[in-house]
Amino acid sequence: MVCARRARPAAAMSRPGVWIDSRPSARDAVPARACRSARPGAGSFCLIRGIDDVLCRLGPGSQGALGAGRPPVAAGAAMKAIDLVLERIARVLLALAGVALIAMMFVVMFDVLVRNLSGIIPALQDLKYYGTIEIVRYLFLFAMAGTMPWGVEKSQVVVELFTQRFSASAQARIDAFFLLGYFLLGSFMAYSLFIAGTHAYVTGETTPDLLIPLGPIRYATAFCMGLMALRALLAAIRGMSRGAAHVA
């Protein structure tokens, strides 16, 4: 069925059990069992017809339960909403990863300057500090983990040596298929880090120098890996179903 684009005659029975609506934006036909009609020929009120009329106005790719062989609009809208939420979370993690990278740079600069200037400035010889290696290690861990959800479908190096003669849709589906590998990898890493974080939380495991609890660090990393897996899965589903490249 397609949405009506021109005016039709008044509501009339075209065949048994099917009513034709005269509104330009309504569907072509609606089952009579779904309508409540006062009397034939006097117009009818149909909940499903009204919903389908809204779906028609949304566009040709949004037909609902009355569309012929097309997915419901609710499923597509839900996937778009989930994708939007995950993308915004990934953007926030990307910004935090940038902050962690800059902080790591300042920590390294501080350590190098203090070590090299301690022979020139006597006051720096009495400066005692420790834990810079741990700080740099875990800042680097979060800087790497925080960027992976954002760049999982954007930062791939693709060598089209064997697929360059394929059609664009075939290449897009092949790329989407390989994104499933990132989904499996991210899922495995998220699960492993979650188990390790739970073990660290139960045992009270901390870092050697600064005594920072390792449980929250591993939980945060597991969250980043899980988000990467979800975004890779959604990009793979879009690419294989539509045959469109996941990177514009």
Query: How many Cα atoms are found within 13 Å in the side-chain-facing hemisphere of 229?
Result: 15
Residues 200 and 100 placed together within one structural domain of the fold = yes
Looking at the fold, whether 59 and 83 belong to one and the same domain comes out as: no
Task: Report the number of distinct structural domains present in the chain.
Answer: 2
Asked if the structure places residue 126 within a domain, the reply is: yes
Same domain, 117 and 218: yes
Q: Which of 37, 70, 103 is the last residue of a domain?
A: 70
Question: Residue 247 domain-assigned?
Answer: no
pLDDT score of 26: 43
Beta strand 30-31 with 35-37 is unpaired
pLDDT value, residue 244: 64
By the 8 A CB rule, do 197 and 214 touch? yes
- 9 and 101 inside one domain: no
What's the pLDDT score for residue 80? Answer: 82
Is 130 contained in some domain? Answer: yes
pLDDT (0 to 100) of residue 228: 93
Please indicate, yes or no, whether residues 145 and 190 belong to a single structural domain of this protein.
Answer: yes
**65 shares a domain with 90:** no
The residue among 70, 98, 117 that closes a domain is 70
137 and 15 in a single domain? The answer is no
Query: Which of 179, 163, 162 lies closest to 171 in space, CA to CA?
Result: 163
Whether the CB-CB separation of 71 and 80 falls below 8 Å is answered with no
Q: Which two tokens stand for residue 208?
A: 């050697």
- The structure tokens listed for 100 are 């962690």
Q: Are residues 167 and 59 in the same domain?
A: no
Q: Are 64 and 79 in the same domain?
A: no
Asked whether 93 and 82 are in contact (CB, 8 A), the reply is no
Last residue of some domain: 70, 94, 128? 70
Same structural domain, 99 and 216: yes
Return contacts of 126-134, CB within 8 angstroms, 24+ apart: 130/209, 130/210, 131/207, 131/209, 131/210, 132/107, 132/108, 133/209, 134/207, 134/208, 134/209, 134/210, 134/212
Residue 210: give the domain boundaries: 73-242
Confidence (pLDDT) at 4: 45
Q: In this structure, are 88 and 207 located in the same domain?
A: yes
Paired residues of 19 in beta bridges:
13, 30
Decide if 39 is inside a domain.
yes
Distance between CA 176 and CA 182 in Å, rounded? 10
248 within domain boundaries: no
Residues 229 and 184 grouped into a single domain: yes
Residue-by-residue pLDDT tens, the chain, 248 positions: 444 444 444 444 444 444 444 444 444 444 444 444 444 444 434 443 444 454 444 444 444 444 444 455 566 678 788 888 999 999 999 999 999 999 999 999 998 888 888 778 877 777 888 888 999 999 999 999 999 998 887 766 666 677 777 887 888 888 888 889 889 999 999 999 999 999 999 999 999 888 999 999 999 999 999 999 999 998 888 888 776 666 54
pTM of the model: 0.64
**Pure H helices in the chain:** 47-58, 73-117, 132-151, 168-203, 214-242
